[in-house]
Chain A
Amino acid sequence: MSARAVEAIGLVKEFERGRRTVWDRLRRRPDRRERFRAVDGVDLAVEYGEIFGVLGPNGAGKTTTMKMLATLLEPTSGTARVLGRDVVREAREVRRRMGAVLSDGRSLYWKLTARENLEYFAALYHVPGSEAAERIQHVLNAVRLDDRADDYVERYSTGMRQRLVLARALLPDPELLLLDEPTVGLDPQSARDLRDRVRDLQGQGRTVLLTTHYMEEADQLCDRIAIVDHGRIVALDTPAGLKRTIGATEVVRLEVTAANGQAPVDGALLGRLARAGEVTHIERRDGALAVTVHSRSARDFVPAAFDAAQAEGVAIRHVEVVPVTLEDVFISLTGRALRE
């Protein structure tokens, strides 16, 4: 067994932006396509048995990274080994030992039953004929679809289809599972259910590498998280470790208005607030100034904020104190919110 379930060093993937038509080629016009890096030097080391999350906004390079690890994309440079095998030179071996969910229920055959879908993929995964029926029943049980196994997939809900996609990925009895945004498009109940299944998989000793742009999902599920932005890993630690990096335990959100009901001029007020905590985000919204502050103790900061408001002749109309989240970590690292 190799030392790590996934190991990537300096992984880069470049794509071309723009187009060059056949006409352009025939006319021998210069190639004006621009190359851009979707993944820009990612180093990754996923240990056996952990749930490792890649958290980042849409377009950060998460899916491209997963596709390279799943052998669907060839890296432009850098190397990646999955379960000790090189994803380019030993692609077929990688596929044999890994399961992946990189697509939604659209990738199933809707006119087949769940069992028929799995029978087909069991054969493609080279599951021995003598074991196939038992393996299929096992994965159906694992995702709790055994009672609907002989229904056409077209009659399934979105959540059920996503569970079937997960069941398909489990067919090779993989040591490693790659899950790309596994809960996108699911209702809260289905998403919670799928997260439970992922925890079960870890309980069975499997390694899970998942991408998500849902910070709560990453926080709840993952042992370690890599935060990615613009194709690069900007932080990597346990969820608690990442939250510690911003040097606060609580986030205080204030909405401040001037006496005339308008958003106040912020300079002097922010100067006072900054002496009591770290002002991380300011936004004018609905005639108020929305201020986000990282604080070691909201109990100390909130009275200080009211004193500052009184001194500047403005009113605090709303106060919200919440624990530090990964969203706050992302904002402190990139200056943007995850959903921007």
Chain B
Amino acid sequence: MSGASLAGDLRAFGAAALKEWRLLRRYPTLFVGFLFWPIALPVAYVFQARAYAGDSPAALDAFAQRSGTTEVAGFLFLGWAAYMWISMILWGPGTALRTEQVRGSLEALFMTPASRLVILFGPLVSQVVWALWMFSVVIGTMTLVFGVDIAAASLPHALAVIAVAVPALYGLGALFAAVVLRFGEVSALVQAVRGVFTVFCGMSFPIVVLPEWGRAVALALPPTYLIGDLRRVLLAEAELTDMLPDLVVLLALGLLLTALAVVAFRATERYARRGGSLAQY
């Protein structure tokens, strides 16, 4: 790719994010939804935990032994915040592609010289704003309502963990987009994967409670590392160097999934260009 082409694609990337952001702004009620769910979902689990264990020191000790923290509210809020962000990314590229297909704009996009990666990932950039908004709401609620103590110095570490997780999660999202191009529908698959993540990645409980085979599954899934490491930096004030092996695994999974996604997307685009399915839905 030439330098001019790369610069053009980078500009297009920004334009895709801006377009998506403009479209989102035209539906302001969405912001209310994004204020509600990051609080409502974990709060329900916090009260459930209280119902089961109350303030019993023995119960909290048992939880701390398994999870590494006594901050039940913080544990649950971070788990569900990560889950919601992951859901956004899993749905993102596939849904964006599907929306363009149904709207009738996909062919217009594919007739431009912009890289397919722009079309695939550009709209997702706007979701960074949503993710920041959601994590801000979650951390604000944790600290102000539930009194969870989070050191300001931990926040850059948390951002670093999120950044390392991005390639793996976006790679998964792009794989789903390839499925959309091939089959025109991806929601059933996304729901199934979200179910697997909910059970195995420790959204609402530490993975040590899983059976051995379940832990093995958990360690093969990128969200496990993201959620675990976010809790470690924000609730246990761990240093990034403490989590280096995790971050290396996360990056490796990211590279693998991104490469897989690029290959799958190219193959399905070729399939669509042979069969004429770009405009079919």
Contacts and interface: CB of A to CB of B under 8 A. Distances in A.
Interface of A: 15-16, 64, 67, 70-74, 92-93, 95-96, 100, 102-104, 106-109, 111-112, 116, 119-126, 129, 168, 172
Contact of B19 (A74, A107, A116, A172): A116
Contact of A100 (B103, B111, B113): B111
Contact of A103 (B15, B23, B108, B276): B108
28 contacts: A16-B275, A67-B276, A71-B273, A72-B107, A73-B274, A73-B276, A74-B273, A95-B111, A96-B113, A102-B107, A102-B111, A107-B104, A107-B105, A109-B19, A112-B22, A120-B15, A120-B16, A120-B18, A120-B19, A123-B8, A123-B14, A123-B15, A123-B114, A125-B112, A125-B113, A126-B9, A126-B113, A172-B113
Contacts of A168: 108
A269 B105 CA distance: 56
Interface string B95-117: 00000000111011111111000
A112 B110 CA distance: 20
Size category of the binding interface on chain B: 20 to 34
Contacts of A95: 111-113
Given A107-B104, A120-B19, A70 B111 contact: yes
Interface in B19-42: 19, 22-23, 26
A64 B270 CA distance: 16
Nearest to B119: A124
B203 interface: no
Nearest to A168: B108
B15 A107 contact: no
Contact of A126 (B16, B19, B114, B270): B114
A112 B112 CA distance: 19
Contacts of B274: 73-74
Nearest to A97: B113
B113 A92 contact: yes
A124 B5 CA distance: 11
B118 interface: yes
B11 A129 contact: yes
A116 B273 CA distance: 29
Contacts of A108: 105
Nearest to B183: A22
A93 B274 CA distance: 19
Contacts of A74: 270, 273-274
B19 to A, nearest CB: 4
B273 A119 contact: no
Interface string B77-106: 000000000000000000000000001110
A126 B8 contact: yes
Given A100-B111, A121-B112, A126 B273 contact: no
A308 B141 CA distance: 97
A26 to B, nearest CB: 16
B12 interface: yes
A15 B222 CA distance: 40
A15 B272 CA distance: 12
A34 B5 CA distance: 42
B5 A126 contact: yes
B273 A73 contact: yes
B107 A107 contact: yes
Contacts of B8: 123, 126
Contacts of B22: 111-112, 116
Contacts of A120: 15-16, 18-19
B15 A124 contact: yes
A23 to B, nearest CB: 15
A111 B108 contact: no
B108 A107 contact: yes
A108 B105 CA distance: 6
Contact of A15 (B18, B270, B275, B278): B275
A103 to B, nearest CB: 6
B11 A112 contact: no
Nearest to B24: A111
A15 B103 contact: no
A205 B9 CA distance: 29
B103 A107 contact: yes
B99 to A, nearest CB: 10
Contact of A124 (B104, B114, B270, B279): B114
Contacts of B114: 123-126
A72 B275 contact: no
Nearest to B4: A126
A95 B111 CA distance: 6
Contacts of A96: 113
Contacts of B19: 109, 112, 116, 119-120
B11 A123 contact: yes
Contacts of A104: 104
Contacts of B16: 120, 123-124
A111 B23 contact: yes
Contact of A71 (B4, B5, B111): B111
A201 B274 CA distance: 32
Contacts of A125: 112-114
A149 B279 CA distance: 28
Contact of B276 (A15, A102, A107, A121): A15
Nearest to A178: B111
Nearest to B112: A124
Contacts of A129: 11
Contacts of B111: 70-72, 95, 100, 102
Given A74-B274, A123-B15, A126-B8, A109 B113 contact: no
